[in-house]
Structure 1
Amino acid sequence: MRTFLFNHIALSVKDVDESFEFYQKIFQFKEIKNTASDSKTRWLSIGEGKQLHLIPRPKAEIIINKAVHFALSTPDFNSFVLFLKELRIPYSDWLDTPNKDYIRKDGIKQVYFQDPNGYWIEINDDYK
């Protein structure tokens, strides 16, 4: 049987520096060296060897859909939601109810918000 580990997620972004600052401010991700090329793509460490790659595509059409998102888990869910409120970053539940979290059928609490390019991010309390 083959085995796999999650390595990275890559996002096409209009402004690499704006997106970079957003992800650093919200998640405190640290910049790591782009070892693949000398391009303006910036890499961030998500932790545990996982990475976020921000690829400059200033003229690309970015089509968003809430069902296409990435999710991060935190043991400090409630304090993170308060942090979003402090920064005046709009968030919602899955059904788009503003400023509301959602408790899934399996008991996991979650919220959704968007980055500067409109990508959806889920934060949940499924931290193990």
Structure 2
Amino acid sequence: MFDLIFDHYTIRVKDLDRSAEFYQNVLGFSEIENRTQKAHIRWFSMGEGRELHIAKGNSDIIKTNVGVHIALRLKDFDGFLSHLNRYNINRHNSKGIQDSITTRADGIRQVYFQDPDGYWIEVNEAATLED
């Protein structure tokens, strides 16, 4: 029918610089050109042409739970857990229980955590070296 391809995800944040620092330092996203040229928006590459846009605004009305999240995957899961510890980021499992991770039925480990505005992020251990 249609050949839709994921392009970008936009979130509203209270403090643009604080959120930008989080996405750069904690997740390693590179800031890219903001083609809107609007000062209240910053763009980040998520790899393979996918982007995250963060826009300064009132995020008080945004309510999320662990069931609504962006999911990423990587090979060095244990190294990433140590990385989260260095930034004092609370780890959760898929039910939102703190100081815990999830191991799926297929053996893949997952960790959930929140950005400075409370948006949930899931990071999965890659299943194979090709992932």
TM-score exceeds 0.5: yes
What is aligned with 2:83? 83
* Residue 8 of structure 2 corresponds to residue 4 of structure 1: no
RMSD between aligned residues? 1.6
Q: Give the TM-score, by structure 2 length.
A: 0.89
Unmatched runs of 5 consecutive residues or more in structure 1: none
CA contact (8 A) 2:71 2:122 kept: yes
- 1:40 matched residue in structure 2: 40
Aligned residues: 128
Q: 2:51 is aligned with what amino acid?
A: Q
Alignment of 1:1-128 (within 5 A): 1-58=1-58, 60-126=60-126, 128=131
TM-score (norm 1): 0.91
What's the CA shift for 1:39? 3.7
Where does the alignment leave 5 or more consecutive residues of structure 2 unmatched?
none
In the TM superposition, residue 60 of structure 1 has moved relative to its aligned partner by 4.5
Q: Give 1:78 shift.
A: 1.0
How big is the shift at 1:59?
6.0
Could you tell me whether the CA contact under 8 Å between 1:77 and 1:125 is conserved in 2? yes
Code of the aligned partner of 1:89: I
